[in-house]
Structure 1
Amino acid sequence: MTSTLFSNRFHHSIAISKMKQIVSYQAFQVPFMSGYFLAKACTWFTHLISPEKIENNNSIYITRTSPPHVIEAYKKQFDKDFSRFLQSRSQEIITGGHMVLTFVGKSIHDPYGSHCALLELLSKSLIDLIHEILVEEEANVRTFILNRPKQLNALTFQMIYRLLELFHASEGNSKVKMIILKGNGRAFCAGGDVTFLAHNVHQGNWKLSADFIRELFTLNNMMATYSKPQVFILNGIVMGGGLVVSVHGRFRVATEKTVCAMPETALGIVPGASHFYSRLPGFFGEYAGLTGARFDGAEMLDVGLATHFVPSEKLPFLKQELAKVNTSDADVISVIISRFSTIPNLKAESPCHKMKIIDLCFSQRTIEEIISSLIREGRHQDVGSCLIQEYRMLCLALKGDFSKDFVEGCKAILIDKDRNPKAARSVAEIMARGKLLHMNAGNGECSYASCSTLQRKVIEKAKPVLEDAIKKMFNNITGDFPKSSCFNMADLGCSSGPNTLFTVSNIIKIVQVLCDEKSCKMPEFQAYLNDLPDNDFNTIFKSIPSFYRDLKEAVDGANCFISGVPGTFYERLFPSKRLHLVHSSYSLHWLSQAPEKIENNNNIYITRTSPPQVFEAYMKQFDKDFSRFLQVRSEEIVTGGHMVLTFLGRSIPDPYGSHSAHLDLLSKSFIDLIHEGLIEQAKLDSFNFPFYAPCKDEVEKIVQMEGSFDVDTTKFFKVNWDESDNADDICFDAYSSGKHIARTMRAVLEQMLVSHFQFGGPVVDYLFERYAYHLACHLLVQKGKFSNIVISLRKK
């Protein structure tokens, strides 16, 4: 039965896109006349230019082989860009201010000097990529040569695509009777580029690594089912994915230089085990897969990984004879190779002499027996089925669903090379470094960008308080506001997604209305977007150009300059007396750290079954954090400036009310996982939710005690857990609402939970399935509502 994963060998198309770096000199600017001194921190930007529509003779920059119009095009582009840069900065820097700019340049007027040498070498490197697979054509034979000798011919995406293309073309060419595959240098192939795989996973792009493995397995399946004989010359290193490639050749020729191993065992994966390891004699496959042991050419021949052993000095003569082949008859080819073959002697210490011991040890009932069963199951499956099974298992390893060992192993062995894999950090350690509380990045189904309509609704409900605060500032603030040149505002805990710039837009529109009423000129706006360093700032920055376009259409003449400010808002973030307005929504209920050393009876937050000291510990931590927040903001906000802060809170002083029912249900979901053996009890016991929902009196008391601000306005409102359900008392579809609420909570909580409990995708999925179930059961009985406090504070 043909597997669906590999049923179409050439399902992919090779698309090569030209990458062009475009540098904007206007996307991020400081306000008019606000800079006393500008040091060009990103010193390389000023010489990044990209002339278009020039032909340059296989060069990527100016060289002595470049036509004259190339240097003219580059000079013209630089003149245009640098002039525009100077013009833009002249509007932003005060009279007498300075710029310090550092360029990569040239010491002479000759544009073709040695200053271009690095880019010429890069051109050569790009040309090398074109020739990573060499092809030799004989009358009836095609020889494909892996040509990355410095990288031991480790396979890249481009090499795999090229091999697929070449094998496909040769199979359809009736003149081609046989394929020879070999490697340049001292290796046949050292496998796939594992560092590339680990880097992608570490960057959160495991799917790109999975795509690489899919294409490699597609190549493997093609080789295993190829209609014409293949001769693989294994003269040198044959490791990892290189071994997986080699075993699919009809004829596999080892030499005295052959070194074979599956070192990925140390990284937590064993590619190929389900098919070719399962076919090795006795329990030798289990031994090889679990130990990563190395074998020489003689041992490969003895266990069947090689079909012939030819001394390396005879390989040129073998190649000459194979080049004369004009048939696809495997028997004829076997006779030719056999004429050059010998039977090598095994080393005295070879494991092949110890097969009885290997069979005895590696057939015992240990944890390895599970792996053994999987390997042996492959004896009854075809290549495609085995590769599908391994593809799914490798995807789990790349995603880190059940273990992070693969990525950590790659880092320790291949990247950091300290051979010291790091254990996962505890929640307390991560929180202490200010990296825990960030939402799910990207635009996927469970990303914060896709699951933040609840937060949008809260922002809209708090908008009247924001409008009132800006109006009072407009009328009462000390100094010349709104006539000052720039209105400085900060959104603290901005996260990422559609809500991030929503508040900035609201503030600008409110100021526009006030300026129209007073017939005064609109100020410029400086908006600072703050969140913790692990926040998805890249997504925010990518959305800024469209924000500018929309703002230009909505508010004619508005100039807004946006900056990202990573860091915790429990510390100083801005210069003294810089800000006019601070906004924060759904952020300040997150504590700087969870209360430590408290026992909470299978609960993750305050409940009626919690001991009294639990509430006291949470209240004490919130008091400390919010007091610190007020203190540092008081140094950054001008006199008369305002803060508008929105919390998840509670409507009554009693800390054990229904305001935390959603967290009680999450605790139940964790207990479900404990009963099914998916997480340990100790993990739940050590987890305390770093969150506190204050009541109005607690917030106002802390403000009064800190002393830097006056309370201007305090409002309280509720929103349904399911913000799309506008009914007050009845839930019309508890099941759908439960799923929706669970998805919203997952976007907020997943990173924190994974950091502490160290589980992966399937367990996370199941946790939130249980959570959705418990939410639905609750909604059948009682409507769930979030209690919210919005407070407007005026700087004294």
Structure 2
Amino acid sequence: MSVTVLRSNFRQRSLCRLLAVQQHLMSSQAGSDILLERSGCAGVITLNRPKALNALNLSMIRQIYPQLKKWEKDPETSIVIIKGTGGKAFCAGGDIRAVTDAGKVGDRLSQDFFREEYILNNAIGTYQKPYVALIDGITMGGGVGLSVHGRFRVATEKTVFAMPETGIGLFPDVGGGYFLPRLQGKLGLFLALTGFRIKGRDVHQAGVASHFVDSEKLPSLEKDLVQLKTPSDTDVAGVLNSYQAQSKLDDGKPFILAEHMDQINRLFEASSVEDIMQKLNEHGSPFALKQLETLKKMSPTSLKITFRQLQDGASMSLQEVLVMEYRLSQACMRGHDFYEGVRAVLIDRDQSPKWKPAVLEEVTGDLVDGCFKSLGSNDLKL
């Protein structure tokens, strides 16, 4: 065989290998849970688990965090945008099933997931460049942590916000103890204890979102943001304000809880969860009794932990809150109700959890205090 033919064969094999590698890289990128790219002046994070409603797993956290830090130092990157694929959810929460399985067998994931998630939440809350979360669709739990601490949170008519953790034996974490008590009146405590869902423009009116924009305008909004030249917060706010001004969807519609806010502020102004339940029962209005029924279904331990979490968090920094919440997360991993809640709501779906303790009166002060105790060298370090 001639040297020319050998060279030709070698080149063909090399080309085939190169194409195979390129195809592998493209397919692995296409199948990746997270897409990270530069577009104009922006670093763009796309949550890419549409079948799982973009639920956040540890692998995703471990890709987002270092990239955020890199973009923060990069002079070519002036803004970060985070969004979800699939049209149904921004991020429906953390990958609770994986954490449950790990916690049952004492696997490190039940420590690492919460630790690294909260470190990421803090990075977002202290980010030095404009951070814009496009919370289009379901935004709960871990999805709230990826968005609410950033400077700009853009809700649409598709946004569904909730912190439903007391229904699965957990608590509204990811910095819930920081942002919830800072909402108007007792709204944050009400949302934290009941898991009440708010949608669309109401998410903006509640103060969870900073802006409201029509869902169909998001591609155009993103294009305008990435085309900005070294934008300041003021520049970004200007673009978002202009898009918000164009939106007429539900414009002028009162906040869904507007007529109940006086009741919420009075009934949830209390010294204990038992006090709230008694006030709701005595008030006797259809709204109050509906909330009472909801609270009766929640984990009594979760309700008491959450009540104190928000009480303490109201005067804490975000960093102090996240350290506290890491302690609580590990208490839940050691306990009973989280595993039972996940079983009843997400696995068997019988919606009939058997909580232990089963009633509020049996959740002692010592039990609650124990959940807030320092973990010593295992405490979260920020």
- TM-score with structure 1 length normalisation? 0.37
Partner residue of 2:340 out of 408, 413, 422? 408
Q: Secondary structure at the match of 2:132?
A: strand
**1:152–1:128: structure 2 CA closer, same or farther, 3 Å change rule?**
farther
Does the 8 Å CA contact 1:412/1:418 hold for their aligned counterparts? yes
Write the deviation string for residues 29-59 of structure 1: whole angstroms up to 9, x where unpaired: xxxxxxxxxxxxxxxxxxxxxxxxxxxx99x
Partner residue of 1:352 out of 249, 258, 264? 258
Q: Secondary structure at the match of 2:176?
A: coil
Distance in structure 1 (CA, Å) of the matches to 2:269 and 2:202: 21
Distance in structure 1 (CA, Å) of the matches to 2:308 and 2:327: 17
Q: Secondary structure at the match of 2:314?
A: helix
One-letter code of the match for 2:269?
S
Does the 8 Å CA contact 1:274/1:374 hold for their aligned counterparts? yes
Flag structure 2 segments of 5+ consecutive residues without an equivalent: 1-15, 276-303, 357-363, 374-382
Partner residue of 2:332 out of 373, 383, 397? 397
Distance in structure 2 (CA, Å) of the matches to 1:678 and 1:381: 22
One-letter code of the match for 2:243?
F
Superposition map of 1:317-466 within 5 A: 317-341=220-244, 342=247, 344-345=250-251, 350-367=256-273, 371-400=306-335, 404-422=336-354
Q: CA RMSD in A?
A: 3.0
**1:333–1:349: structure 2 CA closer, same or farther, 3 Å change rule?**
closer
Superposition map of 1:169-188 within 5 A: 169-185=70-86, 186-188=88-90
Write the deviation string for residues 477-534 of structure 1: whole angstroms up to 9, x where unpaired: xxxxxxxxxxxxxxxxxxxxxxxxxxxxxxxxxxxxxxxxxxxxxxxxxxxxxxxxxx
Distance in structure 2 (CA, Å) of the matches to 1:222 and 1:139: 23
Structure 1 position 184, deviation (Å): 0.4
Does the 8 Å CA contact 1:298/1:346 hold for their aligned counterparts? no
Distance in structure 1 (CA, Å) of the matches to 2:351 and 2:67: 39
Distance in structure 1 (CA, Å) of the matches to 2:184 and 2:318: 18
Find the structure with the greater CA-based Rg: 1
Q: Equivalent residue for 1:234?
A: 135
Q: Secondary structure at the match of 2:81?
A: strand
Greater strand proportion? 1
One-letter code of the match for 1:407?
Y
Structure 1 position 227, deviation (Å): 0.5
One-letter code of the match for 1:135?
L
One-letter code of the match for 1:283?
K
Partner residue of 2:210 out of 307, 327, 348? 307
One-letter code of the match for 2:316?
Q
Distance in structure 2 (CA, Å) of the matches to 1:189 and 1:346: 28
Distance in structure 1 (CA, Å) of the matches to 2:365 and 2:186: 32
Flag structure 1 segments of 5+ consecutive residues without an equivalent: 1-56, 59-64, 67-122, 425-675, 680-759, 764-796
Q: Equivalent residue for 1:316?
A: 219
One-letter code of the match for 1:182?
K
Structure 1 position 138, deviation (Å): 2.0
Distance in structure 1 (CA, Å) of the matches to 2:194 and 2:274: 11
Structure 1 position 368, deviation (Å): 5.8
Q: Secondary structure at the match of 1:179?
A: strand
Greater helix proportion? 2
Partner residue of 1:142 out of 32, 39, 43? 43
Write the deviation string for residues 272-302 of structure 1: whole angstroms up to 9, x where unpaired: 3310101101000110000000011211111
The answer on 1:132 being equivalent to 2:33 is yes
Does the 8 Å CA contact 2:272/2:307 hold for their aligned counterparts? no
Q: Equivalent residue for 1:247?
A: 148
Runs of 4+ in 1 over 3 A off after TM superposition: 126-130, 342-349, 368-374, 676-679, 760-763
Distance in structure 1 (CA, Å) of the matches to 2:206 and 2:365: 41
Distance in structure 2 (CA, Å) of the matches to 1:174 and 1:270: 36
**1:201–1:177: structure 2 CA closer, same or farther, 3 Å change rule?**
same
The answer on 1:278 being equivalent to 2:181 is yes
**1:349–1:312: structure 2 CA closer, same or farther, 3 Å change rule?**
closer
**1:330–1:357: structure 2 CA closer, same or farther, 3 Å change rule?**
same
Q: Name the count of aligned residue pairs.
A: 310
Write the deviation string for residues 758-784 of structure 1: whole angstroms up to 9, x where unpaired: xx9999xxxxxxxxxxxxxxxxxxxxx
Distance in structure 1 (CA, Å) of the matches to 2:43 and 2:271: 48
Structure 1 position 129, deviation (Å): 8.7
Does the 8 Å CA contact 1:299/1:346 hold for their aligned counterparts? no
**1:309–1:376: structure 2 CA closer, same or farther, 3 Å change rule?**
same
- TM-score with structure 2 length normalisation? 0.74
Write the deviation string for residues 111-152 of structure 1: whole angstroms up to 9, x where unpaired: xxxxxxxxxxxx99x937962111232231111100000001
Structure 1 position 366, deviation (Å): 3.4
One-letter code of the match for 1:376?
Q
Q: Secondary structure at the match of 2:154?
A: strand
The answer on 1:202 being equivalent to 2:104 is yes
Structure 1 position 372, deviation (Å): 3.9
**1:319–1:399: structure 2 CA closer, same or farther, 3 Å change rule?**
same
**1:138–1:412: structure 2 CA closer, same or farther, 3 Å change rule?**
same
**1:264–1:372: structure 2 CA closer, same or farther, 3 Å change rule?**
closer
Write the deviation string for residues 391-410 of structure 1: whole angstroms up to 9, x where unpaired: 1011101111xxx1111000
Distance in structure 1 (CA, Å) of the matches to 2:321 and 2:365: 29
Does the 8 Å CA contact 1:399/1:761 hold for their aligned counterparts? no
Distance in structure 2 (CA, Å) of the matches to 1:134 and 1:762: 37
Structure 1 position 420, deviation (Å): 2.5
Structure 1 position 234, deviation (Å): 0.7
Structure 1 position 236, deviation (Å): 0.6
Write the deviation string for residues 702-733 of structure 1: whole angstroms up to 9, x where unpaired: xxxxxxxxxxxxxxxxxxxxxxxxxxxxxxxx
**1:230–1:364: structure 2 CA closer, same or farther, 3 Å change rule?**
same
